[in-house]
Structure 1
């Protein structure tokens, strides 16, 4: 039964990406994928959703959910949309797009996004490795156009977090979070690379929760320990300071679960099989629950909301604990199951108990890719054989543990 739950969830995730795309081949937005399925929701695509979706199509081909030709046609059309139609600045795309026009979604303040562009590029890169040929050529054109230097704060040696036309970059990626993919793509760029030393430009804040010592993100959401790992296989890799980011994600996941166990008397939703605090929908809108060790100036924002993607996206780090959580959700929280597998989140600490009525693309994406990596390593294998990824690992001094010199 356990395997069935995992497979059912994976198929539900895939169906989201396949069904919630613009399939009108005459539309400028062909191939764009919806950000979420909120009832009555906006015609809004997420470029991060598309990035996960491009890798999802490859999984769909391998699992015989779609044919090779179907996946090829959808992928090629999507990349053509991004090359020719999607609004961009120096190669960076906006977080959210109008599903039909491919222009930035005007109802929200938005800026060209480095992290969401990176997620999209990761999906495009895996497509290039899988299909080769003209798909690879389209990826090369899109990737070569990205001016990583636009987002580089040379004085402080970090990436800006946002960019406003006219005034330049703002914010800072000066902490450990999901941005590791930015160093890979930025350092290896064939046209506008940033120096590899940028990898030294973020703080490594070592903290402890219970038995676990780890480098956490500021508010401790699990997606920050998952997203880059969905493509780059950090297992068995250490950096020049000896940091093993895969092991760090294991510790972060176990600490997150332990926090939920420890606070089971405070929150009805939390226990050993209901855990995984990560950004998700909540009873009062989008929220960002997380677990310690927090950064010193960060206050916890937990209200009892748990997202299945928290545990599912960590299945490569904590397979037994993650599978037990998914089994629990499926068998004991039936209201959490919907047309695309698990709905985004639930909360038993409000009256009445709250269950999301929708899914979010990035949560379905991290779930599907990590389940596939757990089962076959397929996405990892595609990504890790890419020449740009190999070049980045060398530039950043990320090497296999076995290659480390003896101390």
Structure 2
């Protein structure tokens, strides 16, 4: 595609496009040069200067990695044939990975596919991580659509993994909600129902559209779309929030599921999801501008609260739980929602001390100017959505691929969604059941 046309369509100046190229390409390298050397799958995290000395890979991060590879092909950073070879290696590793009713664990061994427990009782299937993985795989299947043996075989392999997922195995008897985890040893002991507004919408869409072992629509309406943190409709900083916890929660709620799901014009009886995500991002931005805690470095050019590393370990930041940490991924992934504000942040991040702020895979995971702390790490679930969401703003590549999948259309229609991708009149907005 002509890049001048892309820039004009996205409302970007040529220098903006160069900055976005640099950030996307550096983040992509996390999944290319920084991938596990045997499986090609994505590490959960890695160092600014060196890879970790372990074989741990992550299902969700690998899903974002598949998406990043597609962007790299389109932008000419890698050859299509090289990408096909890497993807084939990754699929072989996934086929050899221990699964639970077809559901992948959160973490597993990059050489032998054995499960690496996330915690003592989380040693089995993780439905949300699996949904993020499948989001990427479905995009790959849609991208490689040529009627040639190599691409036909790739599509067949992806379909085998996708069709094997037993979504109904993550429903307890007599309940109408999906559960995040299921362990062969501890069963539902982790006891985390996937309900209320969060990052897991993608799991319900895929579960509803699955050609095998799918769920009925009432599992979504009586499960996900319930609870005290689903409907909101209150104002924060003068901005109305349709769904979610107070102040919207971490910004990854507006990113992870929407690397594939196109929120533009997407609606159901509960919300317009473009408005939801734009308002969520605006509240997060405005919180950093007003800076009620007086943290150093916050402002209109430095904003973004989400999950990240922090001085004392992994934290989930939001306006309601603010630790003084800015995560570049939060602002960069919000480019589709707040393009001017995101570009201001991107330029500002380049003005910070580059020896501390930038490394082999782009901007470090997070920083705190209050404490003078800069991460020396990257997280796969932060680097991957940067590539995807920037590309969606620029060309719509991944949105068009994912929304073009017939199972995605079927799942959304089954749950009562409308979208310009399939031109169905939106349903009226109602309160959730229960």
Same fold (TM over 0.5): yes
User: 2:375, 2:84 → 1: CA distance?
Assistant: 33
The answer to whether structure 1 residue 161 and structure 2 residue 180 are counterparts is yes
What's the offset of the Cα at 1:394?
A: 1.2
Moved more, 356-365 or 213-222: 213-222
In structure 2, the residue matched to 1:60 is 72
1:145 to 151, 164, 175: 164
Secondary structure of residue in 2 paired with 1:280: strand
Aligned to 1:194: 215
After superposition, where does 1:209-358 map in structure 2 within 5 Å?
209-214=236-241, 215-217=243-245, 220-241=249-270, 243-263=271-291, 266-292=294-320, 300=321, 302-334=322-354, 335-350=356-371, 353-358=372-377
CA contact (8 A) 1:152 1:194 kept: no
Q: In the TM superposition, what is the alpha-carbon distance from 1:155 to its structure 2 partner? A: 3.3
**What's the secondary structure of 1:21's corresponding residue?**
coil
- Give the 3-state SS of the residue equivalent to 2:115 in structure 1: coil
**After superposition, where does 1:172-191 map in structure 2 within 5 Å?**
172-191=193-212
Bigger Cα displacement from structure 2, 30-39 vs 105-114: 105-114
State how 1:97-136 maps to structure 2 within 5 Å.
97-105=108-116, 108-109=119-120, 110-111=122-123, 112-132=125-145, 133-136=152-155
Equivalent position SS for 2:326: coil
> Which stretch has the larger CA shift, 92-101 or 161-170?
161-170
Q: For the structure 1 residues 405 and 75, does the alpha-carbon distance in structure 2 shift closer, same or farther, using more than 3 Å as the test? A: closer
C-alpha separation between the residues in 2 aligned to 1:315 and 1:153?
39
Deviation at 1:167, TM superposition (A): 4.3
- 1:355 to partner: Cα distance: 0.6
- Determine if contact 1:5/1:330 at 8 Å carries over to the other structure: no
Q: What is residue 363 of structure 1 aligned with on the other side?
A: 382
Deviations 1:88-146 (A, max 9, x none): 11111111112222211258533311110111111110111111311111111001111
Which of 396, 400, 407 is the equivalent residue of 1:377? 396
Q: What is the CA distance between 1:209 and its match in structure 2?
A: 0.8
Q: CA deviation at 1:254?
A: 0.5
Please, which runs of 5 or more residues in structure 2 have no aligned partner? 1-14, 146-151, 430-434
Asked if 1 retains the 8 angstrom alpha-carbon contact of 2:281 and 2:337, the reply is: yes
**Number of residue pairs matched by the alignment:** 390
- Can you give the 5+ residue segments of structure 1 that lack an aligned partner in the other structure? 25-29, 293-299
Q: Quick check: 14-23 or 37-46, which moved more?
A: 37-46
Q: 1:262 to 1:49 in 2, by over 3 A?
A: same
Return the offset for 1:381.
Answer: 0.7
Deviation at 1:208, TM superposition (A): 2.3
RMSD: 1.9
Q: In structure 1, what is the equivalent of residue 88 of structure 2?
A: 76
- For 2:265 and 2:44, locate their aligned partners in 1 and report how far apart those are by CA, in whole Å: 33
Q: Name which of structure 1's ranges 337-346 and 202-211 shifts more when overlaid on structure 2.
A: 202-211
Contact 1:80 1:138 in 2 (8 A): no
**Take 1:406 and 1:209, find their aligned partners in 2: how far apart are those partners?**
25
8 A contact 2:36–2:55 mirrored in 1: no
State the SS of the aligned residue for 1:88: coil
Whole-Å Cα distance in 2 between the matches of residues 329 and 88 of structure 1? 40
Instruction: Give distance in 2, aligned partners of 1:216 and 1:291.
Output: 13
Deviation at 1:384, TM superposition (A): 0.8
Q: Partners in 2 of 1:332 and 1:23 — Cα distance? A: 32
Asked if structure 2 preserves the Cα contact closer than 8 Å seen for 1:238 and 1:399, the reply is yes
Q: 1:93 maps to which residue? A: 104
Partner of 1:297: none
